[in-house]
Chain A
Amino acid sequence: MAKVSLPGLIPPLTVLLCLGCEVSKPARLEFSPVVPVRAESLQPRPQQSSLVLLAPLEDKRPDPESLGQVYGRSYNSGEIVTWVEGGLREMVAQHFAAPPGQAGARITLRPRILKAYLNSVTVSRIAVLVLECDFVGPDGGSTTQVFRGQLQGLVWAAGEDEAKGALLRCRDQCLDQIQGELSKRLAVKPAS
């Protein structure tokens, strides 16, 4: 007969408890403490040129406040744009600094956030982040691509940290894809 350890019983019990809870007030997700964005990464760095000029992130979500619901619990955040933009700036600064002697950006990246939401299907939580980016070359020619971070996982406690963690992983997936695309376009060898 199959044995179930006590820790193994915690997730279903927690979910069952959460199902019984009614949370009417939307939980506001504060992203800064989870993913600290270095203040200097948000500032222009005149001393260091970059191969990528990052335009400000546009918010094109249908609802700029809500992040959706998991088990009837609503999540809001007005900070997600700053949080995603911070990640993009950090990624560009880390991986696309111009080599010494080379000046001027070779690509302008114009990102837009199209979707950011949480949802639940039976016992699973779905987190999605969709970014759309224009890659503008030095000649002004532009191509557009969509990048999707999507995560599915069991709802353990329907808590705020769980929701933030899921969106963090979606953001990382998007950043990895954008970094890969930029590396390809700039023929930059990805850092190992």
Chain B
Amino acid sequence: MRPNSAAAPTPARRPWQAGSVLLITATLLAIGCAKPTRVPLRAELRTQINSVKTMAGFQQQEIGSTINSAQGATAGQFGLIGAFVEMGIDSSRTKSAESAIVPVRNALIGYDPGTTLAAALKNELAPLAWLKGNTIEVKAVGDTTVVQGWLEKCGADVLLVIRPNYSLTPKFDGVLVTAEVSLHPRNAPLTEAQRPLDKLPGVLYYNDFTTTHTLADWPSPAPKDLEEAAKLWSADKGQKGRAVVDAGMAELARMIAYDLEQPGSTEDRYEAPAGAKTVRVNWKGYNQAVPVVHEGNGRVWARHSWGSLYSLKQ
């Protein structure tokens, strides 16, 4: 804001500017009023589950890159020209990240995070007594269309589907592991309790997860550019990088096991109890205080108002 802005003349607002303000306001309202995306598993359904199959499907073949997107940076103030500029900035940032990440990808050739995830899921899901006869399989998949086929052939009452993703953070200082997790019933009566979900068969449970993990011994001051940072990840054939991704996969398994047991609502947003501890979470450009729901292993888990679960270093 300019100093002495109160005394400054206010330029007449043009119609397209008013439109932009309306659009932004409507978007913010829509985000604020949105119902939870999480579908909690109803406690009474657990007794009806006699067998479960877990499938984890990796859509990516290598570690991904992420950028701090410039989209929305001009807040619609410059219309199409602004959007064009934002696209150019994003494209340039992606080009830099994709160029710098090559040594990391080369160092991680042959590394399969699915092995770690499968082992972690086996450990973490074992204590959930209602997941009877759980068998775990990890596959490479093209898209979500495979889920219907998995469900038909799984031979169990329910299919637990985990769709993980792992990428370097925009500064290459850590790894971002995300996952969408859904539980699908195969037959009645469980199918009667299912809820529809976009592009997937009906679900008894759904949530998404995010966990971030920094590279051990991250130097201070930080590397001067992405190429320097990439050298840290690719050193020793990517040993440190593999360890960070493995830590992310293990944390993801812990979060899934925890969240499957947690109650909730599909109608009411998750509100923080009065006086609840909060942490700042960056989500798609929004930096918000999110209530902590669990602490342990030197990490905190925070649940967003729409149900998503985040894990951050304490």
Partner-B contacts on A (CB < 8 A): 2, 4, 8-9, 11-12, 15, 24, 26, 61-63, 65-69, 74, 76, 114-117, 119, 121-124, 126, 128, 130, 132, 146, 148, 150, 152-154
Contact = CB atoms under 8 A, between A and B. Distances in A.
Given A62-B58, A115-B61, 7 more contacts: A12-B87, A69-B142, A121-B97, A123-B91, A130-B62, A148-B105, A154-B87
Q: Per DSSP, are chain B's interface residues mostly helix, strand or loop, or mixed?
A: mixed
A119 B98 CA distance: 11
Nearest to A15: B87
17 contacts: A12-B84, A15-B87, A24-B199, A61-B140, A62-B58, A74-B142, A117-B60, A121-B67, A122-B90, A123-B91, A124-B90, A124-B91, A126-B98, A128-B62, A130-B62, A153-B91, A154-B91
B213 to A, nearest CB: 20
Q: Per DSSP, are chain A's interface residues mostly helix, strand or loop, or mixed?
A: strand
Contacts of B81: 2, 4
Contacts of B83: 12
B191 to A, nearest CB: 22
Given A12-B83, A152-B95, A114 B142 contact: no
Contacts of B59: 68-69
Given A66-B140, A69-B143, A148-B102, A121 B66 contact: yes
Nearest to B199: A24
Counting chain B CB atoms within 10 Å of each CB, the highest count among A69, A115, A119, A122 belongs to A122
B80 A63 contact: no
B94 A63 contact: no
Contacts of B67: 121-122
Interface of B: 58-62, 64-67, 69, 71, 80-81, 83-84, 87, 90-91, 94-95, 97-99, 102, 105-106, 109, 139-143, 145, 199
Contacts of A119: 60, 64
A24 B71 CA distance: 26
A180 B62 CA distance: 25
Contacts of A67: 142
Contacts of B142: 26, 63, 65-69, 74, 76
Contact of A26 (B58, B97, B102, B143): B143
Contacts of B199: 24
Contacts of A9: 80, 84
Nearest to A3: B81
Contacts of A123: 87, 90-91, 94
Contacts of A26: 142-143, 145
B69 A122 contact: yes
Contacts of B84: 4, 8-9, 12
A81 B90 CA distance: 33
Contacts of B65: 121
A68 B90 CA distance: 21
A124 B101 CA distance: 15
A65 B143 CA distance: 11
A148 B83 CA distance: 33
Given A115-B62, A128-B62, A150-B102, A63 B141 contact: yes
A59 B281 CA distance: 42
Nearest to B97: A121
Nearest to B105: A148
Contacts of B99: 152
B231 to A, nearest CB: 17
A121 B61 contact: no
Nearest to A4: B81
Contact of A117 (B61, B87, B94, B95): B61
Contacts of B91: 122-124, 152-154
Interface pairs A-B: 8 shortest CB-CB: A66-B142, A62-B140, A63-B140, A124-B94, A122-B90, A74-B143, A152-B98, A121-B94
